[in-house]
Amino acid sequence: MIVYDLACDQAHHFEGWFSSADDFDAQVKAEQISCPVCGSVSISRQLSAPYVSTGGSEQTQEEPTAETAVAGVDIESLHRKFVEFVLKNSEDVGKEFPAEARAIHYEEKPRRSIRGEASRDDIDALRDEGIDVYAVPGLPTPPDQVH
C-alpha cells in the first residue's frame, strides 16, 4: 500500500491509501476520491514523500541467538578434585588392577572401587568384557611403581 498526502482545490489536506500510483491516478480520473471536508473531487497529490507499507506483519528484528559458552571454569581444578576423589574412594591395587577388576566384575571379590595400573590394551579388554573402566589421566603413580 502507498499512502499519499492529498489536497483538494480548497487546500484541504487529507491522506489517501492506494495499492499503487496507478491506482491513485485511476481513482482521481474516475473522480472516486473526494475531499472529506468539502467533497471536492479535484484532488492533487502533495509533494511530500509517500511512505510504503509492506502490509504484512511488522518486520521484527531477530533476537540474537545466545551462544552457549562457558568461561572461567577451571577444568584443571575440576580434574584435580576428581583425581582426589578417586584416590580417596578407591583401593589401590597397583598392577593387579585388570585381575582385580575382573574378579569384582565376576563377583569373585567384594564390589568396591579400585584403581591401579592398566595398559591401554588392558582397558580395552576390560571394556570388551563389559567392565566399566575409566582411564584417569594425571592420577599419581605411587613412588614404588615409578618406572
Binding residues (CB under 5 A) for Zn ion: these are 8, 10, 12, 35, 37-38, 40
Spatial contact of 98 and 125, defined as CB atoms under 8 Å apart:
yes
Nearer to Zn ion, 8 or 114 (CB): 8
Q: How far is the CB of 39 from Zn ion (least distance, A)?
A: 7
Q: CB of 104 within 8 A of CB of 110?
A: yes
By beta-carbon proximity to Zn ion, the closer residue of 35 and 101 is 35
DSSP 42-94: -EEE-SSPPEE---SSPP-PPPPPPPP---S--HHHHHHHHHHHHHHHSEEEE
Tell me the closest approach of the beta carbon of residue 51 to Zn ion, in angstroms. Answer: 23
Write down the least CB distance from residue 34 to Zn ion, Å: 8
Measured from the CB atom, is 46 or 89 closer to Zn ion? 46
